[in-house]
Amino acid sequence: MNTKRSINIIFVLCTFLSQGVLAQTVTLEQAVEYALKNDPVLGQINATVATLEAKAVADAQLPDPKATLALQSFPVDDFNRTREGMTQIVTGISQKIPRGRTLKYKSKQTQFKAESVQAETYLRAIRVKREVRRLWLDLYYWHHAETTINRSETLLKKIIEATELHYGTGGRNVQDVISAELELSVLQDKKIDVQRKVDALKADLAKWSGYELAQGKMDEVFPALPKVKAYEAIEQLLTAHPQIQVVDALIESERQGVNIAKAQYKPGFDIGVNYGFREGELPNGQDRPDFLTAKLTFDLPIFVDKRQDKQLAASNFKVSAAQYQRDDILRDLLAQLQRNYSNWRRFEERAAHYDQSVIQRAKENFEASLEAYGKDRTNFSSLMRAQVVELDTKLNYIKIKTDRAKAQTDLLYLQGGHHE
């Protein structure tokens, strides 16, 4: 008896503990943190930054010097190294010096490209946050819509039971029973569709937060988001938005291209020294002296209209194109700010209106209809209308809160992650 009792106790404890593990709630913050830590695109961008930073150092270096080893003026009739006075073994070294400060400008150009890609990491991070938050909020809405529908389904089943009981005693007609069962079927169909949307959103969320988090129990508390700044403050932050930082660094990179194009009007140089070893003797019996050759070779940029002028014009056009791109992005960010801030304010007003008035009135209306139906003071159709109104009101309230939070999420994106 004691053994059986102990086994039962252990079974109950194991069941309780397993339910505690399975019931562990998952928060929005956990989902965002996981997405940021495990985003492969962020890893790819960081690798690209490291690549460009290393290349910037390499771009600043002179080309490798060139060594020369040659056998010069060697007679091929008898292969005698000492017969001809100009036969010599030549060794030398030369160094190419690019035009102007090309190396410096190329290095800075690559470094600005690295800064542009670095800004993409910040841009990617706030985009990941926005995407995960929006998916989470959508999932929160449909999850609570499912809960609300389940409660309505339970209540409707009780109404059907009461209606069938009254019908059996002659208190209700068969039309009420059929109407109630029809309403239940419609509600159950809506429930199936909601479950489909929940499953689809969990699959989308799993892409970012992993399967285990996406399938975990969602926190019932509506997620708290960082506060939104005033409109004017966000507007000022737009010029420092990561999307703008990406283009600003690209503009600076293109400006270095202009400097490189200007440097092409200056000559480049090749500096070299050769030493020729000679064998044999002079007519006076002395050893033939060795030869030393120093050389300086340089470009002559005299026909510039078809090359240098065109290269400079092309570089300037690239700067202008990048500046136009910046202006277009800034205008788009400003339009997003105007739209999302307006939406956020309107959803704030609607949420307050529902919270202060609509929810309570819909509840009171249904309770009054239910009481009246129980006393045969109203018909079944009026009761169902009141029940549908209350259900729709609850769903609308959750949707408004969700849309308000999504607008807030978009505003946080426009803040560029400042003070989150």
Compute the half-sphere exposure of residue 69: CA atoms within 13 Å on the CB side of its CA.
0
pLDDT, tens digit (0-9, with 9 covering 90-100), for 164-211: 776 555 555 677 778 778 888 888 998 999 999 999 998 998 888 887
The mean predicted confidence, pLDDT, of the chain is 87
Pairing of strands 25-26, 217-218: parallel
- Alpha carbon distance, N-terminus to C-terminus of the chain: 60
- The CA distance from 418 to 385, in Å, is 48
Neighbours of 202 (CB within 10 A): 20
pLDDT of residue 362: 92
- 407, 344 in Cβ contact below 8 A? yes
pLDDT of residue 420: 63
pLDDT of residue 334: 97
pLDDT of residue 22: 41
- What single-letter DSSP state applies at residue 293? E
pLDDT of residue 50: 96
- The CA distance from 352 to 318, in Å, is 51
- The CA distance from 399 to 142, in Å, is 9
pLDDT of residue 419: 55
Whether this prediction's pTM lies above 0.85 is answered by no
pLDDT, greater one: 361 or 15: 361
Confidence of residue 113 (pLDDT cuts 50, 70, 90): very high
What is the identity of the amino acid at 324? Y
61-70 average pLDDT score? 94
What 3-state DSSP class applies to 297?
A: strand
With 0-12 CB in 10 A as exposed, 13-18 as middle and 19+ as buried, what is 81?
middle
> Percent of the chain, pLDDT > 90?
58
pLDDT, greater one: 74 or 24: 74
Residue 382 pLDDT greater than 80, yes or no? yes
Distances (CA, A) of 208 to 36, 126, 242: 8, 13, 21
Extract the tokens encoding 103.
């190396």
Residue 14 pLDDT greater than 50, yes or no? no
Extract the tokens encoding 92.
């030398």
Residue 19 pLDDT greater than 60, yes or no? no
> Percent of the chain, pLDDT > 70?
92
- The CA distance from 116 to 242, in Å, is 9
Confidence of residue 12 (pLDDT cuts 50, 70, 90): very low
pLDDT of residue 168: 57
pLDDT of residue 166: 64
pLDDT, greater one: 80 or 227: 227
Residues 6 or more apart in contact with residue 162 via CB below 8 angstroms = 374
Extract the tokens encoding 153.
């389904």
Confidence of residue 84 (pLDDT cuts 50, 70, 90): confident
pLDDT, greater one: 373 or 62: 62
Residue 157 pLDDT greater than 80, yes or no? yes
Residue 105 belongs to what H/E stretch?
helix 102-168
pLDDT of residue 176: 72
Least confident of 2-6, 8-12, 309-313: 8-12
pLDDT, greater one: 223 or 23: 223
Residue 13 pLDDT greater than 60, yes or no? no
Extract the tokens encoding 158.
């009780």
255-264 average pLDDT score? 96
> Which candidate, 143, 296, 289, places its Cα nearest to that of 222?
143
